[in-house]
Structure 1
């Protein structure tokens, strides 16, 4: 079904309202390829009619299908590995040292925002398990959220096809953290128990999610407008512990969010510590 200018505007406005993703007429091919079948399946006259039905809010399944179709769920295990190296060799050891003399020395809280199909939070859990020998004695909680019902369902199952495993999982990690299931591989119980999944729209208030030592919000804000992106990261900073860490995507820079969002580099990876009450001494910034 061909797209009219009115159809494109209607779809782009709805996507922006629902997800914060900024599309324009240059993405007409994406709209047709991802929404065409939904238009036909639900007997819509055109794309504008689909938008009208979604905005009515009567058919929640239709809204979920729309969001699942338009959002990008492409990811892989240990994506941008140097960020995981910064997590492993810098952020996590520093956090463990900082918590050692507190009332809860073995408690770690991490939020994987926009977790897609789960590869990121499971990669974090595997890294923690490798770094902490007696991890089963620790209170580790990784909260993983995404706007897509389909993505959350797949992540919760923890089952991945061979080609998904081959993109980022070493042979050693495959043996240690997975076991065969059908034609694929399933995350083992030790890793799965560290992660909880929930649906969440980052445009909506999320103060209820709790307080975190670290937040990973990568490769989602690049699709937002500048104003939405700035608001998102300021709200995320409010969920962080005073000495918490924020990891963003490799192509995302927070220089325009505020003076507290100062980048810290380690292992070629960059993270932020937006709530520090005083600048980190230069000797500690790597």
Structure 2
């Protein structure tokens, strides 16, 4: 395996941060070596410097996007951590539906955003949760679930909704597999009933995202941990502006907004913590 020099690693630290906001630690040179090694071969590069120069000279930014796809962490699985989905099913979604019902004479609406959705497991876990909670009444609600990610590969795979056996076995109970997926030659594909509830689009969280509109629920789990503090502050300020006044923010189980922002108030239900805007 080709090794990355100290100087090359410093160059890539700045480059990776500039293109996707990920802050590589000083001991993470192995990430460059392992994740970008296939790109060295693909683009016939004898060093990481050659790959960097090719990426910078590529006006279509195709190599840059492949570097983003390789570097970004796509570690996720269905119903990850489970507790947040119990929180959604038994607390947050019922409370929102009660508040939204009868407001305008129109069917109640819910807009949910999964930020940094990776390959879509969180998004489809949300769709399954809503289907099981609302049952045959699902069609009576205006449901919109949006998944965003900086990776083209992640958005493409999420939109298609195809998962291999290994991905299916990570967090998805057998009864949910039977109910909500169709077997295909190379895995399992989410049923159209659930795919119709969701949409996906490419988004860099460090860029403005007001065009997405306002949301009732935002999940931004296990992504801000890769950002330096100033970017975390900016991210949560923008998220605050994207929440409706009585909306809910959910972050990772090991994450906290303490010392980052004072715009949110933490609240607890059962074993889970969620955040709402301060009055």
The TM-score by the shorter chain falls in which range? over 0.9
Q: Is the counterpart of residue 119 in structure 1 residue 115 in structure 2? A: no
SS of 1:73's partner is: coil
Provide closer, same or farther for how the CA distance between residues 75 and 96 of structure 1 changes in structure 2, counting only shifts above 3 A.
same
1:136 alignment counterpart: 139
TM-score scaled by structure 2? 0.95
Offset of residue 165 of structure 1: 1.1
Q: How does 1:68-87 map to 2 (within 5 A)?
A: 68-87=69-88
| Deviation digits for residues 163-221 of structure 1 (CA, Å, limit 9, x no counterpart) | 21111111221121111111311111111100001111111111101111110111110
Decide whether the 8 Å contact of 1:114 with 1:220 is kept in 2. Answer: yes
Distance in 2 (CA, whole Å) between partners of 1:146 and 1:267 is 30
| Deviation digits for residues 24-63 of structure 1 (CA, Å, limit 9, x no counterpart) | 3311111100112212322334223322332345142111
2:185 alignment counterpart: 182
Distance in 2 (CA, whole Å) between partners of 1:224 and 1:57 is 26
Distance in 2 (CA, whole Å) between partners of 1:267 and 1:66 is 41
1:60 alignment counterpart: 61
TM-score scaled by structure 1? 0.93
1:102 alignment counterpart: 103
Decide whether the 8 Å contact of 1:222 with 1:252 is kept in 2. Answer: yes
SS of 2:247's partner is: strand
SS of 1:64's partner is: helix
Decide whether the 8 Å contact of 1:255 with 1:261 is kept in 2. Answer: no
SS of 1:213's partner is: strand
| Deviation digits for residues 85-111 of structure 1 (CA, Å, limit 9, x no counterpart) | 111111111111111131244211001
SS of 1:205's partner is: coil
1:252 alignment counterpart: 255
SS of 2:145's partner is: strand
- The RMSD of aligned alpha carbons is 1.4
SS of 2:27's partner is: helix
SS of 2:45's partner is: coil
| Deviation digits for residues 64-122 of structure 1 (CA, Å, limit 9, x no counterpart) | 11100000111100001001111111111111111113124421100111000000010
4+ aligned runs moved over 4 Å, structure 1: none
Q: Is the counterpart of residue 158 in structure 1 residue 124 in structure 2? A: no
SS of 1:253's partner is: coil
Decide whether the 8 Å contact of 2:102 with 2:108 is kept in 1. Answer: no
Distance in 2 (CA, whole Å) between partners of 1:250 and 1:230 is 19
Decide whether the 8 Å contact of 1:255 with 1:262 is kept in 2. Answer: no
2:13 alignment counterpart: 12
Decide whether the 8 Å contact of 1:178 with 1:187 is kept in 2. Answer: yes
2:24 alignment counterpart: 23
| Deviation digits for residues 119-171 of structure 1 (CA, Å, limit 9, x no counterpart) | 00100010011111210232100011100111111111111111211111112
- Give unmatched runs, 5+ long, in structure 1: 278-286
Distance in 2 (CA, whole Å) between partners of 1:250 and 1:90 is 17
> Which one is further off, 20-29 or 193-202?
20-29
